Amino acid sequence: MTSFFEEETTFFADLILPVPIPSLFTYRVPREMASLIKVGARVIVQFGQKRVITAVVAQLHTNPPVKYQAKYILELLDEQPIVTTHQLELFNWVAEYYLCNIGEVMNVALPAGLKITSQSRIQLNPEFEYEDLLTDQEHLVIEEIKKHQTLSYEEVERLLQKSNITAIIKSLVGKRAVILYEEVKERYKPKVVKKIRLTAAYTTNEALSKLAADLDKTPKQQEILLKYLSFIPVYNNPDLNHKGLDKSIFSQDNTISDASLNTLIKKGVFEQFEIFVSRFDDIPMGNMGNITLTETQEEASRQIHELFREKEVVLLHGITGSGKTEVYIELIKQVLESGSQVLFLLPEIALTTQIVIRLRKVFGEVMGIYHSKFSDNERVEVWKGILDGKFQFVVGVRSAIFLPFDNLGLIIVDEEHETSYKQHDPAPRYNARDVAVIMSYMHKGKTLLGSATPSLESYFHAQSGRYGLVEMKQRFGNAALPRFELIDTKKEKRQKQMKNEFSSVLLSHLEYNLKNKEQTILFQNRRGYSPYLQCEECNWISECANCDVSLTYHMKARELRCHYCGHKEEVPRTCPHCGSPKVKTMGYGTEKIEEEINVMYPEARVQRMDLDTTRAKNAYQQIIQDFEEGGIDILVGTQMVSKGLDFDNVSVVGIFDADRIIHFPEFRASERAFQMLTQVSGRAGRRADKPGKVLIQTANPSQPLLEKIINNDYEGMYADEIAEREKFNYPPFTRLIKVTVKHVDEGTSNRAAKVLAEKLTAHLGSSRVLGPQPPLVERVRNQFLFDILIKLEREKINFKAAKSFIQEKVIDILTDKTLKSIQVIIDVDCL
Ligand SMILES: [Zn+2]
Ligand SMILES: [Zn+2]
């Protein structure tokens, strides 16, 4: 027993705060909280002068901080941890690996609904007595507070019909009339359904008969009772009553008045209650339906199992249409049956489509979905559902990697080559595929990477034996591979057969398809109408005022837009430079292709799918649905059309501008071009009796990469590329870190970048440090950019030590007083 005079132990908590500070912050645990607080729980603390923020407990101990006086924790939000120890371990790893703060990781990890907002409110000061001192408006506020106990700032604004009330509030505080305080609100609200049921007294047959007879005099009330009994036959089975009936069933019925129902509730016949329901009930469900694997799939599944005995990671390389999904489903089932959790990662866009509905049909209620287009509430529901064991299986986008799993048996990363797994801004600049591998390792689970066109990195690891490799080289069922045709646009131009951007070959296919009611996909990886405007007289080009890029012409919106900073301006009627009216659109984007088809084939039903047409919440699904149902003849789109969609009736895929994709000035261009063009080609029809056709327009049909693409020769592409990478020291032989220096003044930016590059070179050597050089777009949002690229060999160098060296040098630059307001961004494993 603790003696009254004995001093009790004081506890301190190291907290992760959602602010960009490099370390944890120590707060003092109030005595009454000491027995309740746990690592992983959320608390509310004051940070700085006024801010109240949510933090997560990372550690509990008894050592007071040395350099500052610890403030008290204000409130404990969770009795049970909301962040698991596995997560804390992962957050630490991510912060350390990607050179950012753990607070930044937590900020990305926690859905906004789990963070707290605080709202300032005012209440009456109980000691206030000098009412005579108040002005009329102040009187009004005080009277209102007396009515409602407290008021928010917004309520005061509404009351006084003023948008700026700070002066009045200040005056009221000064006169000691009111007290300000912060009210903390949880943003997450569970979805509630109101229900009614009979009270216990009326659940016997006897009581019910008597009640029904009594209600003869009030037929409206009687009708409600009968309606209730028609849904819930309590007569036969009193146990049914406790589940009750949705109240909305009565409110939707026009013949029933709310007043009658309320009277019955008042009389004690019915009682009202509320239940929490899931927000995911509208997606069709099934339960563990059986699927049958083909021989190829069976074999792949068997191999994966075998490889998992000795490898942590297996790469499933299955060509488009080979039926990887069935293999995944089989595997997921087995892991779930063994009692472990499964995470299935998909690229953002693929998540809204067919595959999710398919998985839901198989896995039903145990499957949660985590998507950035979902509301905060929905995301919190998934988070909590995992914690309390409701969701054993989650399908999600890259940030799903941060969900509170405690027993992951398997992570599947589908389309693992996709660049959307990498977060560019803000920090943490993580790659979810790579984090998945680490996370599986922490959980002692396994990772399965899947792709028709694996990233060079993953294939390299598979070749070197670090990962297991399983190949599926046949299309599912009797599906055939598409046939390719390369169209020489140079030749067609010489022979004057081209109609604007359309070759005669492509046009004849389009016409055939329109006549025969078959569908076509046209791929142009550039949105807008045309990438720039040019004056024919003086060669003036439309450029962004804030960035060094041309402004894209958007015809429908009648605007010039910058795709880097969002700047918009009106289309000039004459050249702003020389006044000539001969201002022409140059080059072409999806919008122009769509328009030209409309002109050439006015009867064709054309739809465009790019960032501009899919901004609205359901726009993307709507287009896909229309296309599936045959309401669209020609779908024109950017690479969005290549993601995870299977259409039966597409007999032609036309690809514009393959050359620009292949010759993009970037070391990964060939790999990307192979991936992009193969994926989009994979959308061509799969019917065995009628294989689809892919038409590629190019000025140079004999380029080796095109040959690899049309022969589906991934290994050939890999062999060429990997030799290049080795020769020039690029990934996967090295790890790349990009350091970007930004400043509004070009000279300052350049100087800082040079100083930094020199410091880095001095220690790392000039072969490892490239630059500084301006990136492709040198100025964005009025900031001048300089990139320094650091290549670190995988084997020879201590990666961790090299990174902390780089970080140190970056801090030198950031704290250099002669380089005011310089910004430096470090991107580890940049793409
Ligand atoms: Zn711009
Ligand atoms: Zn001009």
- Quick one: three-class SS letters along 320-369? CCCCHHHHHHHHHHHHHHCCCEEEEECCHHHHHCHHHHHHHHHHHHHEEE
Which ligand sits nearest to residue 778's alpha carbon? 1
Q: How far is CA 181 from CA 70, 150, 178, 186, in A?
A: 22, 10, 10, 16
Which ligand sits nearest to residue 574's alpha carbon? 2
Nearest in space to 830 (alpha carbons), one of 105, 106, 98: 98
Tell whether the model's pLDDT for residue 34 goes beyond 80.
yes
Q: From the CA of 572, how far away is ligand 2's center (Å)?
A: 11
Which ligand sits nearest to residue 576's alpha carbon? 2
Give the type of residue at 414.
D
pLDDT at 734: 94
Evaluate whether 768 touches 759 at the Cβ level (below 8 Å): no
Q: From the CA of 584, how far away is ligand 1's center (Å)?
A: 21
pLDDT at 50: 63
- What is the DSSP code (8-state) at residue 201? G
Q: What is the pLDDT of residues 701-713, one digit of tens each?
A: 999 999 999 998 9
Q: From the CA of 750, how far away is ligand 1's center (Å)?
A: 20
- Ion ligand 1 contact residues with beta carbon within 5 A: 544, 546-547, 562, 564-565, 567
- Tokens 């329109």 correspond to 514
- Which helix (H) or strand (E) element contains residue 97? helix 85-97
Tell whether the model's pLDDT for residue 521 goes beyond 70.
yes
Q: From the CA of 543, how far away is ligand 1's center (Å)?
A: 8
Q: From the CA of 592, how far away is ligand 2's center (Å)?
A: 23
- Which helix (H) or strand (E) element contains residue 154? helix 153-160
Which ligand sits nearest to residue 547's alpha carbon? 1
Q: What is the pLDDT of residues 750-809, one digit of tens each?
A: 999 999 999 999 999 999 999 899 988 889 989 999 999 999 998 888 999 999 999 999
Query: CB within 8 A of 788, min separation 6: which ones?
Result: 738, 739, 740, 741, 753, 756, 757, 760, 769, 770, 771, 772
Q: From CA 530, how far away is CA 586, in angstroms rounded?
A: 6
Q: From the CA of 91, how far away is ligand 1's center (Å)?
A: 34
Least confident window among 78-82, 220-224, 255-259, 298-302: 255-259
Q: From the CA of 187, how far away is ligand 2's center (Å)?
A: 55
Q: From the CA of 444, how far away is ligand 1's center (Å)?
A: 46
Tell whether the model's pLDDT for residue 186 goes beyond 70.
no
Evaluate whether 670 touches 720 at the Cβ level (below 8 Å): yes
Q: From the CA of 554, how far away is ligand 2's center (Å)?
A: 20
Tell whether the model's pLDDT for residue 749 goes beyond 70.
yes
Q: From CA 799, how far away is CA 734, in angstroms rounded?
A: 10
Q: From the CA of 573, how far away is ligand 2's center (Å)?
A: 11
Give the type of residue at 430.
Y
Give 2's pLDDT tier (boundaries 50, 70, 90). Answer: very low
Q: From the CA of 548, how far away is ligand 2's center (Å)?
A: 19
Evaluate whether 184 touches 118 at the Cβ level (below 8 Å): yes
In DSSP terms, 743 is beta-bridged to 784
Q: From the CA of 549, how far away is ligand 1's center (Å)?
A: 7
pLDDT at 478: 64
Q: From the CA of 557, how far away is ligand 2's center (Å)?
A: 23
Which ligand sits nearest to residue 562's alpha carbon? 1
* Token representation of residue 373: 């287009």
Q: From the CA of 581, how far away is ligand 2's center (Å)?
A: 8
Which ligand sits nearest to residue 549's alpha carbon? 1
Tell whether the model's pLDDT for residue 628 goes beyond 60.
yes
Q: From the CA of 370, how far away is ligand 2's center (Å)?
A: 51
Angle CA 464–402–277, to nearest 5: 135
Q: Report the share of the chain in percent with pLDDT over 90.
A: 50
Q: From the CA of 560, how far away is ligand 2's center (Å)?
A: 17
Q: From the CA of 551, how far away is ligand 1's center (Å)?
A: 8
Q: From the CA of 586, how far away is ligand 2's center (Å)?
A: 14
Q: How far is CA 146 from the centre of its chain?
A: 46
How would DSSP label each residue in 432-501?
A: HHHHHHHHHHHHT-EEEEEESS--HHHHHHHHTTSSEEEEE-S-STTPPPPEEEEEEHHHHHHTT--BTT
Average pLDDT of the residues in 297-303: 95
Which ligand sits nearest to residue 578's alpha carbon? 2
Q: From the CA of 546, how far away is ligand 1's center (Å)?
A: 5
Q: Average per-residue pLDDT in the chain?
A: 88
Q: From the CA of 745, how far away is ligand 1's center (Å)?
A: 16
Q: How far is CA 48 from CA 17, 52, 53, 103, in A?
A: 12, 8, 10, 16
Q: From the CA of 356, how far away is ligand 2's center (Å)?
A: 52
- Tokens 């329901």 correspond to 277
To the nearest 10 degrees (0 to 180), the angle between helices 669-681 and 714-727 is 170
Which ligand sits nearest to residue 536's alpha carbon? 2
Beta strands in 140-284 (DSSP E): 150-152, 178-186, 191-198, 245-246, 270-277
- Which helix (H) or strand (E) element contains residue 168? helix 166-174
pTM beyond 0.75: the answer is: yes
Tell whether the model's pLDDT for residue 349 goes beyond 70.
no
Give 256's pLDDT tier (boundaries 50, 70, 90). Answer: confident
For the chain, how are helix, strand and coil distributed in percent, rounded to 5? 35, 25, 40
Which ligand sits nearest to residue 534's alpha carbon? 2
First CA to last CA across the chain, in angstroms? 61
Alpha helices, DSSP H only, in 204-281? 205-214, 219-231, 248-251, 258-266
Q: From the CA of 814, how far away is ligand 1's center (Å)?
A: 26
Q: Is 507 exposed, middle or buried (0-12, 13-18, 19+ CB in 10 A)?
A: middle
Give 292's pLDDT tier (boundaries 50, 70, 90). Answer: confident
Q: Tally the residues of the chain.
A: 831
Q: What is the pLDDT of residues 96-133, one digit of tens each?
A: 999 999 999 998 998 887 876 556 678 888 778 777 78
Which ligand sits nearest to residue 537's alpha carbon? 2
Q: From the CA of 22, how far away is ligand 1's center (Å)?
A: 32
In DSSP terms, 9 is beta-bridged to none
Q: From the CA of 534, how far away is ligand 2's center (Å)?
A: 8
pLDDT at 432: 97
pLDDT at 152: 82
Which ligand sits nearest to residue 581's alpha carbon? 2
Query: CB within 8 A of 685, min separation 6: which ones?
Result: 482, 647, 648, 649, 650, 651, 691, 692
Which ligand sits nearest to residue 580's alpha carbon? 2
Q: From the CA of 579, how far away is ligand 2's center (Å)?
A: 6
* Token representation of residue 71: 């403030």
Which ligand sits nearest to residue 569's alpha carbon? 1
Query: How many other β-carbons are positioned within 10 Å of the β-carbon of residue 436?
Result: 26
Q: Residues 201-209: contacts with CB within 8 Å, 24+ apart? A: 201/268, 202/269, 203/234, 203/238, 203/241, 204/238, 205/235, 208/234, 208/235
Average pLDDT of the residues in 375-395: 89
Which ligand sits nearest to residue 780's alpha carbon? 1
Round the CA-based radius of gyration of the chain to a whole number and report it: 32
Q: From the CA of 576, how far away is ligand 2's center (Å)?
A: 7
Q: From CA 226, how far away is CA 230, in angstroms rounded?
A: 6
Q: From the CA of 571, how far away is ligand 2's center (Å)?
A: 14
Give the type of residue at 318.
G
Q: From CA 108, how far away is CA 402, in angstroms rounded?
A: 8
Q: From the CA of 773, how far away is ligand 1's center (Å)?
A: 20
Q: From CA 34, how far away is CA 824, in angstroms rounded?
A: 41
- Tokens 């060509």 correspond to 319
Q: From the CA of 580, how far away is ligand 2's center (Å)?
A: 5
Tell whether the model's pLDDT for residue 189 goes beyond 80.
no
Which ligand sits nearest to residue 552's alpha carbon? 1
